[in-house]
Amino acid sequence: MQMNIKGKKILITGGAGFIGSNIAEKLLKMGAKVRVMDNLLTGRRSNIAEFLDNPNFEFFEKDITNISDCRAACDGIDLVTHQAALGSVPRSIINPSATNDINSGGFVNMLFAAKEAGIKRFVYASSSSVYGDEPNLPKREEKIGKPLSPYAVSKLTNELYAAVFGQTYGMEVIGLRYFNVYGPKQDPEGVYAAVIPLFLKHLFNNEAPFINGDGEQTRDFTYVDNAVQANLLGLTTTNNLAYNQVYNVAVGEKFSVNEMYEMIRSYLNKDIAAIHREERSGDIRDSLADISKAKNLLGYSPQFTFKQGLPLTIEYFKNEFQ
């Protein structure tokens, strides 16, 4: 993998975001030349501040909804990993047009700009939300249900476009269905903050966090280094069978939100009970991934279980909040 990465010029869209900035850090350590494209709508300049003086790093403050920006970002690039998106199921329910414009329209812009630039390999972030109302566990890539939110529709649309671009233009497009990724650099601020940094923020402030519904909904919580590994494998695989596929990126274990909260509370030694409120519209009840396809075709092997990744995340945010 190191041999296939060193010296390559790699574009990361959304590279100032949570997952994108972690990918950038790893690629730079492996000797790649990294260009980050981000409009800083949800990304944070602080996530890439440590890279700005690196001669192998470029930052393009540009927007994927602008095709000219996409073409400029793709100029001279060997490989693309597309992480840019407007996240959050609740936000998509409130503003479906913005979600569609960025997640669907921006995705097509990037695919087409990459195709025009002669870039064959295009790895992109999909989501476990595409499983929708499919009730069976574990989730397998070939069996999805009806989407439950505009965000889920946008991610499913990405997968459909990816398949068409692979077939029509001979591109090597690889989709990664992330399952509840968490870890360092995840944004704890705002009404759409992810659950783990939000819980940590409240507990560090000795406040009771909210849990949506009864808290017994389950998730396959995935430490960010596992998602980074999946991207690196997608960018470097030489397995012809791996192209133009989508893969679950997870651990293959599930925990309830209540269990997760108790683990955090116990680690921080905080005697603070969470406050339960109404369920959140558009949420999947239970989530657990079958990761055998990613293992077999990409060589994916998650290095961090939830119980291993959570303490690393807590220690990172301890420095952020204190």
pLDDT digit string, tens, across residues 12-47:
999 999 999 999 999 999 999 999 999 999 999 999
CB of 163 within 8 A of CB of 124?
no
Q: What is the pLDDT of residue 260?
A: 95
Mean pLDDT of 256-270: 95
Peptide bond into 138 cis (omega under 30): yes
Encode pLDDT of 192-212 as tens digits: 678 999 999 999 999 999 999
Helices (H) and strands (E) in the chain, counts: 12, 13
| Residue appearing with tokens 């402030």 | 205
Task: Write down the catalytic residue from 131, 151, 178, 300.
Answer: 151
Encode pLDDT of 65-89 as tens digits: 999 999 999 999 999 999 999 998 9
Provide the token pair at 204.
């560090």
Per-domain residue ranges of the chain? 2-179+224-250+289-302
How confident is residue 306, by pLDDT bands cut at 50, 70 and 90? very high
Would you identify the CATH topology of the domain 2-179+224-250+289-302? Rossmann fold (3.40.50)
**Bridge-based pairing state of the strands 9-13 and 33-37:** parallel
Interatomic CA distance for residues 51 and 54, integer angstroms:
5
Percent of the chain with pLDDT over 90: 90
Instruction: For residue 151, indicate whether it is catalytic.
Output: yes
Q: In a 3-state reduction of DSSP, which class is residue 15? A: coil
Q: Could you count the other beta carbons within 10 Å of the beta carbon of residue 50?
A: 13
Beta carbons within 8 Å of 121's beta carbon, 6+ residues apart? 78, 79, 80, 171, 172, 174, 234, 235
Q: What is the residue-averaged pLDDT of the chain?
A: 95
CB of 179 within 8 A of CB of 287?
yes
Encode pLDDT of 94-127 as tens digits: 999 999 999 999 999 999 999 999 999 999 999 9
Per-residue pLDDT for 2 more than 90? no
